[in-house]
Amino acid sequence: MATIQEIKIELQHAAFDEIPILMKRYESDERSGVQKELAKAGKRLAQWQEELIRIEEMKRYEKEYWKEYDYICGIDEVGRGPLAGPVVAAAVIFPKDVDILYLNDSKQVSEKKREELYLEIKEKAICYAVGMADVETIDAINILQADYVAMRQAISKLKVAPQILLNDAVTIPSINQPQVPIIKGDAKSISIAAASILAKVERDHLMCVYDEMYPEYGFARNKGYGSAEHIEAIKKYGPCEIHRKTFITHFV
């Protein structure tokens, strides 16, 4: 008879489609430790099944437009609110058989999971690209127009021309392809969610580089957002080259 520890390890390392078989195998084992591990495995299986359903629901826009188009592009941006650093946009085109779990609005995903998804998205996408508008552009033309600059740049860098765009809420000016603005699209479309995660991770990595250049502002921690620590640093040291002058008038 297998020990409780051996059964625990077997259940922990089992693929999700193997868990029901193992649960059936050990269901008659009356040891409390075994029943405890079976309950854990059952909970993990239920969570996985719920995630499969959620992701299928997040494919509803893609499924609708895949009937007509092969190359559907999700677009999103991050960095509208920070006091420092660029705004970053990403564009992602997935194949019709894409299979990635846990995609969501980047703000709803942990940093560790974002980093994992970042690699998986790049591996499984047909193509992806990132665009950026720097602080000079933001100060010159305002944050919304800078968003559009970053988005158009990301689209233009794609190796495959998109046939239709799924956007998070906005309609991008000066774009030829048809566009579908979706309110809270980063939580409703896998393509937009993937773009949100790519843009977030790219921007976070860049802010960590800026943290090494300007360590007094804590950019690795606050990513340029207006935390109390960041605002106090601006008041103490003044702005640096990557601060948005139009965003910090209350502090300088």
Compute the distance between CA of residue 117 and CA of residue 119 in angstroms, rounded to an integer.
Answer: 5
**Strand pairing partners for 77?**
89
Q: pLDDT tens across 159-176, in order?
A: 999 999 999 999 999 999
Query: Residue 69 has which token pair?
Result: 């188009």
**Every domain of the chain and the residues it spans:** 4-57, 61-200
Q: pLDDT tens across 118-142, in order?
A: 999 999 999 999 999 999 999 999 9
Compute the distance between CA of residue 213 and CA of residue 56 in angstroms, rounded to an integer.
Answer: 43
What average pLDDT is seen over the chain? Answer: 96
Q: Which of 230, 91, 111, 237 is nearest to 153 (CA)?
A: 91
Beta strand extents in the chain (DSSP E only): 72-78, 87-93, 127-133, 164-168, 179-182
61-200: CATH number: 3.30.420.10
pLDDT reported for residue 17: 87
pTM here is: 0.90
